[in-house]
Amino acid sequence: MDFPILTVLILLPFAAAIIVALLPSRRKELFLPVGIALSFLPVALAVYLFFVFKTGEAGFQFVESVPWYAPWGISWHVGVDGISLLMIVLTGILMPISLAASTSISKRMKQFVVFNLILEGGLMGVFLSLDMFMFFVFFEVILIPMYFIIGVWGSERRIYAAVKFFLFTALGSALMLAGIIAMALMYAHQNGGIISFDYLGWLTLQMPLHTEMWLFAAFAIAFAIKVPMFPFHTWLPDAHVEAPTAGSVMLAGVLLKMGTYGLLRFNLGLFPHATLKFVPVMAVLAVIGIVYGAAVAIVQPNLKKLVAYSSVSHLGFIVLGIFALTSQGLEGGVVQMFNHGVTTGALFLLVGMIYERRHTKEISEFGGIQKVMPIFAGFFLFTAFASIGLPSLSGFVGEFLILMGSFLTLKWYAIIAASGVILAAVYLLWAYERVFTGPITKPENEKLLDLDAREKTLLVVLAALMLLIGLYPKIALDKIGPSTEAVLDRIQATTTYQPPAPGRLADVLGGIGGE
């Protein structure tokens, strides 16, 4: 316990970035392998953390707290609970995979690896911070590497996409900064002038409802842009289409989860009264996102844009699950955050692999290529099934829990949202049909090479995770459950909210841990 595992997890990628930056510039062949090798250290640590994490405890574990600048009440305060644990593991796993998928990067490889590693460190910081100042620092710092990754290594309209990405998200976090300052000063006002950015301390704040609603809005807009929720989603398709494969994988896989994580951790945690007031708004926007994202995905002529819009739809499910305010919804939301990272990460990898071969992402350029690339086609179909939510694959677990949880409190929303599952089957399977089945229509496609060993390895890892969560969700749910229960406990304790009878695991199982 004395080993500061969380601090090391945050600092390790930064240290790795410095090591790569210090490699001699003429040894171009070293940058990527060294970067990949170094990014295995955080994975190892994250997986270790996953197994030493005490199941059945709701609170934060491995907490470390050191004053950063005491007069301002800012501290280096980290901790992990069931909600952040899977995000850490996801970040760790996706980084070496997305680096290993970047062998085709032709220019400024060193900077590319460095920015990716900085990105990883920032993400770890976001999910582990328990100090709001520190959280904001990492939340904002992440923009810089991602901005460069899209803007330097992206495709034709990369600059437009990078700037749009940056400005959208910066606008959201600017308002959140004002909210954070307001909260810290409110804390000082209520605690004898001692200013503090400690998340746990902020949980004790008392505030009038209208203040709470303003603050909820300031935080929610920042996170809604990040998720992205309708109508803030327009930056996402641009960013995804232009980003290099590694950028897309990290963006969809982890960066978007910062939004849903923030909504769950901070909006639900800090503003329980306002949460209840805002449930209809958030649920409506989530359902619009689900249906709209899926509908737009169906008609996309561009494979990458299709996957991007599918993210809007899937993230809508997660938001719906969170604001259902039931055990099942919250648990499903968190596990779906992990699943979406894995499946969409895999889909972007697949799109990247076919793009490297044909230099196009237009669906109409393909057709019948399962004859020349059977293994590729197999992985694509497998991932598509996981994404759609076929039972025994990971997507099913999350979406089932979310729909079950939201049906209890947001009945009609859940019914409409369920159509998103069907639409997902439409856009993914129809895309599969157009790309892979039938006769080969284009002569360029006849000579396509199937996946090599490196590509297979990357996909096998992700496919194994889809299967694991699909067949044995308990491994994740056991760790998540107590922490999401604690969120609901707090809402119930501070407000008059009562979830309907089977809406709490406690109702079903007769007490937490009553198995």
Partner 1 sequence: MSDVNVSYLAIGPEVLLTLGAVVVLMVDVFRKPSPRVHAWLAALTLVLAGIAVGFQWSAATTDGPSLSFAGMVTTDTFGAYAGFVLLGVAALGLASAWGMIVELGRRGAEGVVLVFMAAAGFMVMATAVNLVLIFVGLEIASMSLYVLAGITRKTLQADEAALKYFLLGSFASAVFIYGAALTFAGSGSLSVYDIHQFFASYVVLKQNVLLVGMALLVVGVAFKVSAAPFHMWAPDAYQGSPAGIVGFMVAAAKVGAFAALARILVYGFSAFSHEWTTGLSLLSAISIVVGMLLAVVQTDIRRMLAYSSVAHAGFILSALTAGGGGVPAMWFYVAVYAVQVIGAFTVVAAVAGPSGGASPLSDYTGLAERSPLLAGSLAFFMIAMSGVPLTSGFIAKFGAFTFAWLAGFQWLVILAVVASVAGFFFYLRVIVLMYMHDPVPVEAPGAVTGGFEAVGAVRWVLIITVAITLVLGIIPGPLLDVARQAFPF
Kindly list the residues in this chain that would bind partner 1 in the complex (CB under 8 A).
Answer: 68-69, 71-72, 108, 133, 136-138, 140-141, 143-144, 147-148, 151-152, 158-159, 162-163, 166-167, 170-171, 174-175, 177-178, 181-182, 184-185
Report the nearest approach of partner 1 to the CB of residue 411 (Å): 38
What is the SS3 assignment for 299? Answer: coil
CB 64 within 8 A of CB 7: yes
Report the nearest approach of partner 1 to the CB of residue 152 (Å): 5
Q: Which is nearer to partner 1, 159 or 422 (CB)?
A: 159
Report the nearest approach of partner 1 to the CB of residue 1 (Å): 26
Q: Which is nearer to partner 1, 137 or 440 (CB)?
A: 137
Cα–Cα distance, 486 to 283 (Å, whole number): 22
Q: Which is nearer to partner 1, 171 or 288 (CB)?
A: 171
Q: Which is nearer to partner 1, 115 or 317 (CB)?
A: 115
456, burial (CB in 10 Å: exposed 0-12, middle 13-18, buried 19+)? middle
**What sign results for the dihedral spanned by CA atoms 125, 130, 134, 135?**
positive
Q: Which of 40, 61, 52, 127 is nearest to 337 (CA)?
A: 127
Q: Which of 358, 490, 347 is nearest to 428 (CA)?
A: 347
Q: Which is nearer to partner 1, 137 or 372 (CB)?
A: 137
Report the nearest approach of partner 1 to the CB of residue 137 (Å): 4
**Phi, psi for 190 (deg, rounded to 5):** -90, -5
What is the SS3 assignment for 6? Answer: helix
Report the nearest approach of partner 1 to the CB of residue 8 (Å): 17
Report the nearest approach of partner 1 to the CB of residue 178 (Å): 5
**Phi, psi for 227 (deg, rounded to 5):** -55, -50
Report the nearest approach of partner 1 to the CB of residue 112 (Å): 12
User: Based on C-alpha coordinates, what's the Rg of the chain?
Assistant: 22
Q: Which is nearer to partner 1, 11 or 381 (CB)?
A: 11
Cα–Cα distance, 293 to 420 (Å, whole number): 9
Report the nearest approach of partner 1 to the CB of residue 363 (Å): 28
CB 20 within 8 A of CB 34: yes
Q: What is the 3-state secondary structure of 432-480? A: HHHHHCCCCCCHHHHHCCCCCHHHHHHHHHHHHHHHHHHHCCHHHHHHH
CB 331 within 8 A of CB 485: no
Q: Which is nearer to partner 1, 122 or 332 (CB)?
A: 122
How crowded is the C-beta side of 456, counted as CA atoms within 13 Å?
Answer: 9
Q: What is the DSSP string of 114-145?
A: HHHHHHHHHHHHHHHB-BHHHHHHHHHHTHHH
Report the nearest approach of partner 1 to the CB of residue 115 (Å): 11
Q: Which is nearer to partner 1, 140 or 489 (CB)?
A: 140
Q: Which of 187, 184, 171 is nearest to 226 (CA)?
A: 171
Q: Which is nearer to partner 1, 23 or 175 (CB)?
A: 175
CB 7 within 8 A of CB 76: yes
Report the nearest approach of partner 1 to the CB of residue 121 (Å): 11
Q: Which is nearer to partner 1, 135 or 230 (CB)?
A: 135
